[in-house]
Chain A
């Protein structure tokens, strides 16, 4: 059941009616959320809810035991972390290990393992939860139903945003109230997310695949367009999913993390990663970066920490050397900024009060976009050989032949996305307009019409980030 399907629409509608019907009882609402979320998850594969249940039980029990324990908190935490992450490690990385050993000359057979969609997301939220209990940032949740609702909440179950117990768990303990004022912002967010997913990401995807399948014959300019389009595809896909998730969650009175904050307007890689998949960045910061020492005056030590974090992030994204190198490359991007003392921590959006960026900002934005975009060749390639071919083609296939025309067909959507994000960079999303209601409705109508008119037929494609 995907967000852009009729099945999901009906499921959501039914859930909302029942949910707000029992608005007086938090327990009933949570029971409904758990039941609905497990049903939602079981629609992907009957076995998936078993993994979810196991990790939920593990997280709940370890949380309780850590809180009660006085002397063995750390060993219990470590045991919990190992146990909770073992499922992800075994299912996702065993074959990667076998492949790597095989490449060194061994000949082991690969195992037929099914990695449940969303496993890495709810593994991370469980790890975050027991660590926060250990650090006494949150109290261990006593009610199993509440904890289950928090972990399995279907809008964030498959591809995040990775929930943080410190902000989200408490919301499942409180009475939720239906507020009409929230309705508009929810629908607005959902409409914008659907537009990005169905019009931009889905339409671009085959053109990008075409470029990656024809690296030998396409010229440098075509390959450049291909990778730029992939950058937009993955952004529209993942941020579209996150927007829909936030919008749907808000309909249930739950506020999820803002996962994307116009990342393509970033002025350096550090700013990009604070705006891209922010829930993962926050998780990595809280549970890895800070424990490892965080930002220190020793630039070499700081660089080592950064590289480790990005390597870890790469491995989280996929069990493949392409992801490892992708992570490493993104870590390396920090070093010139760091050693030239230009790793500025921007605290607000670029050019406040200005309609257009100044030349310096524009250069910084374009440079950051291209650094990130070129690293995506590794992200998209199935193996290192394909990535090498793409890089080689990009730098050496010079010819004046025009790229396939269809590659240009998507550029106006990408331009529209960037223009809208730039003009609305101080608001929560491009449809968050401070104009009279009739004009707002007109704007929503236009976005919905565009989605209906220009969505890719038969576009119930997987969301790109489901695979992670």
Chain B
């Protein structure tokens, strides 16, 4: 009897001691580890319009598809402008890097059309932009990604990506941001991942990897300290920089940190993010990390990601994105009701 009571006290202790166990945080289908809130209208839209077309399907969908793509391009441009304003506000240098594992035969119409557009959009904003897709085109997807299981970077791919980033960050070694924040101004969380995670994930693809986040919600092991003593480089973007299916120490950001002991490299990537998410992240949290350089890691998929179904599914704010008439027409065209 006493033993039994002891066991159940143990259970109760387990309950209390494990309440902050990270593994119980919501893990979305794509393995991003971000706590979410629920909005009824948002939920309704998600259920009513569950399908997400890829950008290539959009571009191949005739006039309606092209009209929606132009709309997405406009949203992309607007958000790039907003991001520049945020970077300017703290005196950080914003760099645009186009990075995509779509190489060789995997290169899509979206990539071919999107790369020139992004370069042009960056140029209009007066931003320095770098296209890594041509440098990566000499590799096959099997060399740099987890193909055939998944299209994200393999450990070798991440090494190549890091080597491509190295000269870019070296070029701006002297740049420093101008804004500092007080401890009272600075929020506790500076990144969008749940803090203090240390867990194995596999994204349902049987490629297990270790995710560690620091106490500030970035995919890195040590917390950032203030006042900063080194140049701070913040990488933002989607899974291409977050790097699912790689351990923390295998990601391009971690490899760059190893090569650049005089800098602090921050991996602020989150799966599924596009530009408006990056703007929200920087404006609300990441700017308080006082980055000197902000590297926006983007690719042409980010344009198509502005389609309303993708925004509703992956958007950071979890607000409802109601479709325009053209978006709705495209949805009906691509996904006719059965």
Residue ranges of A at the interface with B (Cβ–Cβ < 8 Å): 203, 206-207, 209-210, 213-214, 355, 404-406, 409, 412-413, 416, 419-420, 423-424, 430, 433-435, 442-443, 446-447, 449-450, 453-454, 456-458
Contact = CB atoms under 8 A, between A and B. Distances in A.
A443 B1 CA distance: 13
Contacts of B17: 412
Contacts of A409: 21, 23, 198-199
A203 B17 CA distance: 17
B24 A435 contact: no
15 contacts: A206-B202, A207-B200, A210-B200, A210-B210, A404-B200, A406-B210, A423-B4, A423-B6, A423-B7, A443-B8, A446-B11, A446-B12, A453-B15, A454-B23, A457-B27
B337 to A, nearest CB: 25
A419 B8 CA distance: 10
Contact of B200 (A209, A423, A424, A449): A209
B150 to A, nearest CB: 13
A213 B208 contact: yes
A211 to B, nearest CB: 8
Listed from nearest, the 6 A-B pairs whose CB atoms lie closest are: A210-B208, A210-B200, A405-B198, A423-B3, A209-B208, A206-B200
Given A412-B14, A423-B7, A449-B15, A406 B199 contact: yes
Contacts of A430: 7
Contacts of B207: 213
A213 B205 CA distance: 13
Counting chain A CB atoms within 10 Å of each CB, the highest count among B11, B15, B201 belongs to B11
Interface in B115-147: none
Contacts of B26: 457
A99 B17 CA distance: 50
Interface residues of B, number: 31
A206 B201 contact: yes
A423 B26 CA distance: 34
Given A446-B15, A450-B11, A454-B18, A435 B1 contact: yes
Contacts of B206: 209
A409 B247 CA distance: 18
Given A209-B206, A355-B3, A409-B21, 17 more contacts: A209-B202, A210-B210, A214-B247, A404-B210, A405-B198, A406-B198, A406-B199, A409-B23, A416-B14, A419-B7, A423-B3, A424-B4, A435-B1, A446-B12, A447-B11, A450-B15, A457-B27
Nearest to B198: A405
Given A213-B207, A416-B14, A456 B23 contact: yes
Interface string B4-41: 10111011101101100101101101000000000000
Contact of B7 (A210, A214, A420, A454): A420
B209 interface: yes
Nearest to A356: B3
A406 B11 CA distance: 20
A404 B210 CA distance: 8
A435 B23 CA distance: 33
Contacts of A214: 208, 247
Contacts of B7: 416, 419-420, 423, 430
Interface in B314-332: none
Contacts of A456: 23
Given A207-B200, A210-B208, A406-B210, A435 B4 contact: yes
B254 to A, nearest CB: 14
B209 A416 contact: no
Contacts of A443: 8
A393 B84 CA distance: 49
B8 A446 contact: yes
Nearest to B27: A457
Counting chain A CB atoms within 10 Å of each CB, the highest count among B4, B7, B200 belongs to B200
B171 to A, nearest CB: 33
A344 B320 CA distance: 68
A343 B120 CA distance: 79
Interface in B136-170: none
Nearest to A424: B4
Given A416-B10, A416-B11, A453 B198 contact: no
B332 to A, nearest CB: 30
Contacts of A404: 198, 200, 210
Counting chain A CB atoms within 10 Å of each CB, the highest count among B4, B198, B202, B204 belongs to B4
A434 B1 CA distance: 8
Contacts of B14: 412-413, 416, 450
Nearest to A410: B23
Contacts of B247: 214
B10 to A, nearest CB: 6
Interface in B192-216: 198-202, 204, 206-210
A450 B12 CA distance: 9
B115 to A, nearest CB: 34
A453 B24 contact: yes
A420 to B, nearest CB: 5
A202 to B, nearest CB: 10
Contacts of A453: 15, 18, 24
A443 B167 CA distance: 61
Nearest to A461: B204
A458 B7 CA distance: 29
Nearest to B2: A355
A463 to B, nearest CB: 17
Nearest to A217: B247
A457 B27 CA distance: 7
Contacts of B204: 458
B261 to A, nearest CB: 20
Contacts of A412: 14, 17-18
Given A355-B3, A435-B1, A454 B24 contact: yes
Nearest to A408: B198
B32 to A, nearest CB: 13
Contacts of A206: 200-202, 208
A433 B4 contact: yes
Contacts of A446: 8, 11-12, 15
Nearest to A405: B198
Nearest to B201: A206
A251 B10 CA distance: 30
A207 to B, nearest CB: 5
A423 B5 CA distance: 10
A457 B4 contact: no
A72 to B, nearest CB: 51
Contacts of A447: 11
A355 B6 CA distance: 12
B271 to A, nearest CB: 15
A446 B206 CA distance: 32
A458 to B, nearest CB: 7
Contacts of B6: 423
